Amino acid sequence: MASAERLYKIERLIRQRGPIAFQALQDELEVSRATLKRDLEYLRSRLGAPIEYDRDANGYRFAESARDRRHELPGLWFDERELYSLLMAHQLLSGLDSDGTLSRHLQPLLERIHQMLGSGDDRTLMKRVKIISAARRPVPSRFFELVAESLLQRRRLHLRYLTRGRGEVSERDVSPQRLVHYRNTWYLDAWCHRVEGLRRFALDAIEAAATLETRARDIAMKQVQAEMDAGYGIYAGGTRQWATLVFAAQAAAWISREEWHAEQQGRWLDDGRYELRLPYVDDTELVMDLLRQGDEVEVLAPPALREKMGRRLRAAAAVYAADG
């Protein structure tokens, strides 16, 4: 076992099982008494770990003054639950990797997690947990890395971007503000210097990108959140409206537990149905989600949204009219 890995394991054992006897530590680490003594002294004197020997319990523990706070060794330090969460995150991040570039960067982190867990259970977990990314739109890792680098270094980006709704390709300079992961797709919230306003860009719609030397324009995060998070789903900008939806009793058991929007308002009706009110600025994504509910939902307001849903449902029904 490498010395760094051994130091992390000593801390973890004391945190989880302290007071823990010297012999128990030695058995777990499979090292000599001299090596373990050197490691304990190094942790205390060089790394400031608040480890003390409890004579009454005949074991090592953290000092009383350090019980309510976590001492962190230099470098990566997580408890086991957090490490398992990181393994899950690794799978999610790997899902956006189309050419293996990100995997090469993530591999050292993954190997470090394996060492810190100190067992093969993490590999078993990787096999026994399946993350299904439905309707995922892969992002070329070269674009993801470029966007992330520009975001963190606060530099502008030049993009060649496809606006799918209009089928137009445009060139623009943007100041990255934040990355957004939504429904298995990555987006960039950025200040667009062509239109002088905040816009949201799908990373998979980027056709070319280059980092500029010009410093990015900083927009207060409160402004970014106010403008980009007010709507429903991924759509931002526009006049805010409130939709009133009523779900049939059969669907209500699930809908009542779902979060459609951070500001949603829900209540049970006397007949077992569930009423949900939520804000939106563009009804495109809201209509798509409501169509998935079929006849289990009714739009009560506003009238324009109710009329649009009616048109879409009648058009869908017409497709199957020939079947009788």
68 confidence band (pLDDT: 50, 70, 90): very low
pLDDT, one tens digit per residue, over 84-113 is 666 666 666 665 555 555 566 666 666 666
268 strand-pairing partners: 274
Is a pLDDT exceeding 80 seen at residue 218? yes
pLDDT band at 166 (very low <50, low <70, confident <90, very high): confident
Q: Which H or E run contains 171?
A: strand 168-182
Mean pLDDT value across residues 152-180: 93
State yes or no: pLDDT of 76 exceeds 60.
Answer: no
Query: 302 preceded by cis ω (within 30°)?
Result: yes
What's the whole-number mean pLDDT along residues 178-187?
Answer: 87
pLDDT tens for 41-56 read 988 887 778 889 998 8
Partners of 243 in the β-ladder: 278
Measured on CA atoms in the order 138, 141, 146, 151, is the torsion positive or negative? positive
Across 281-297, average pLDDT? 93
The answer, as to whether pTM is greater than 0.85, is: no
Q: Could you tell me the pLDDT band of residue 236, with boundaries at 50, 70 and 90?
A: confident
Angle at 167 (CA atoms; ends 161, 168), nearest 5 degrees: 45
Check residues 104 and 33 and name the one with the higher pLDDT: 33
- Roughly what angle, to the nearest 10 degrees, separates helices 22-29 and 3-17? 140
Mean pLDDT for 172-182 is 94
The Cα 93–Cα 270 span in angstroms is 45
Listing DSSP states for 18-69 in one string gives -SB-HHHHHHHHT--HHHHHHHHHHHHHTS---EEEETTTTEEEE-GGGTTS
Distance (Å, rounded) from C-alpha 233 to C-alpha 183? 9
The average confidence (pLDDT) of the chain is: 83
Residues 242/276, Cβ–Cβ less than 8 Å = no
